[in-house]
Amino acid sequence: MTHEAFVRGTVTVSVPATSANLGPGYDTLGLALDLRDELTGEVLAAGDTTGTPHLEVVVEGEGADGVPLDESHLVVRAMRTAFEQMGLAQPSLRLHCRNVLPHSRGLGSSSAAIVGGLALARALVLDGTARIDDTDLFALAAKLEGHPDNVAPATFGGFTVSGAEAGNFFAVPAPVVQGTSVVVFVPPDPVSTEVARGLLPREVPHADAAANAARAALLVVALGQRPDLLPAATRDYLHQDYRASAMPDSAALVRGLRADGVAAVISGAGPTVLAFVGDGEHSDEIDPVAVDSAGALLDRCPAGWAAHHLAVDLQGVVVR
């Protein structure tokens, strides 16, 4: 395929942080948050004399000292998948990643890399959106990630319900009460998703499964129309207690916040803690009541941790 198939010049995409599970919605519910990584790419004219595509990767911000700068970089792997899906050989590339999302903290950094890489490759192809629409992009992302709960809100924005049926991934948007926001408490040390998943039992009591199903259903209603129900709706029976040993400080913070009536959960596989803000007063922006509540929560950030007050992001991945 010739260089004429590709956009000339640079293209930048932006992709939001995401929080999965939200308590009881294990591997199903996800929320996009207004904290974004940016990826800028450019297709170069040619590879080396052997025909091997040239690759330049620059990373700044989170993970800059630890991620690979070659073909094994997750964004590059996602881009390669997208080019293959569009019937194109991988071209020579220049990639610049501006990372804000902390790695291995439960805020969807790997999903952001995958969704961002797929979207960037699509945007670098002149008819990319005709070759891969958003539904296809989501399905590719879910296949690469292995589960859809983070890649769904990263792709579509907002609050999503996702899963798989007969081997096919699905994602359905769900409403969020206007003005909903969160405070996230990010600890300094990571916990890998593999470690967190490894702590889960193969079976749980039937009563716990039934209670969890009720809370997950209630959470969809609470986020859509009844935020006063969020403290009850975010009660989890399937994963957080089992994972507490891997993130004892996070578990203690969740317990303390919930004891005070705050709808607090472990974000994704942790160890970040997410707390919903506000008391049902809503406006086009984060309202003064919510800001006051967020201020009180931010004051509870443990020493050495970072805390952010974030709106729900309704856009998902976008081309800048």
For the annotated binding site for ATP, the residues are: 102-112
pLDDT at 285 over 80: no
Mean pLDDT across the stretch 195-224? Answer: 95
For the annotated binding site, the residues are: 102-112
Domain topology for 3-175 = Ribosomal Protein S5; domain 2 (3.30.230)
Q: What is the mean pLDDT of the chain?
A: 92
pLDDT of residue 283: 37
Q: What phi and psi values does residue 283 have, to the nearest 5 degrees?
A: -155, -175
User: pLDDT class for 47, splitting at 50, 70, 90?
Assistant: low
Cα–Cα distance for residue pair 297/281, rounded to 1 Å:
17
% of the chain at pLDDT higher than 90: 85
What are the tokens at 316? 């998902």
% of the chain at pLDDT higher than 70: 92
Of the given ranges (126-130, 157-161, 292-296), which has the lowest mean pLDDT? Answer: 292-296
pLDDT at 78 over 50: yes
Whether the Cβ atoms of residue 173 and residue 134 lie closer than 8 Å to each other: no
pLDDT of residue 46: 67
3-state secondary structure of 238: coil
pTM above 0.85, yes or no: yes
3-state secondary structure of 84: helix
Same CATH fold, 181-311 and 3-175?
Answer: no
pLDDT of residue 287: 47
pLDDT of residue 284: 41
pLDDT digits (tens, 9 = 90+) for 12-30: 999 999 999 999 999 999 9
Choose between 276 and 193: higher pLDDT.
Answer: 276
Mean pLDDT across the stretch 199-204? Answer: 92
Domain topology for 181-311 = Alpha-Beta Plaits (3.30.70)
Q: Is the dihedral of CA 252, 256, 261, 263 positive or negative?
A: negative
Choose between 162 and 66: higher pLDDT.
Answer: 162
What residue ranges do the domains of the chain occupy?
3-175, 181-311
H or E element, residue 194: helix 193-198
Whether the Cβ atoms of residue 103 and residue 190 lie closer than 8 Å to each other: yes
pLDDT of residue 282: 40
pLDDT digits (tens, 9 = 90+) for 95-130: 999 999 999 999 999 999 999 999 999 999 999 999
pLDDT at 286 over 50: no
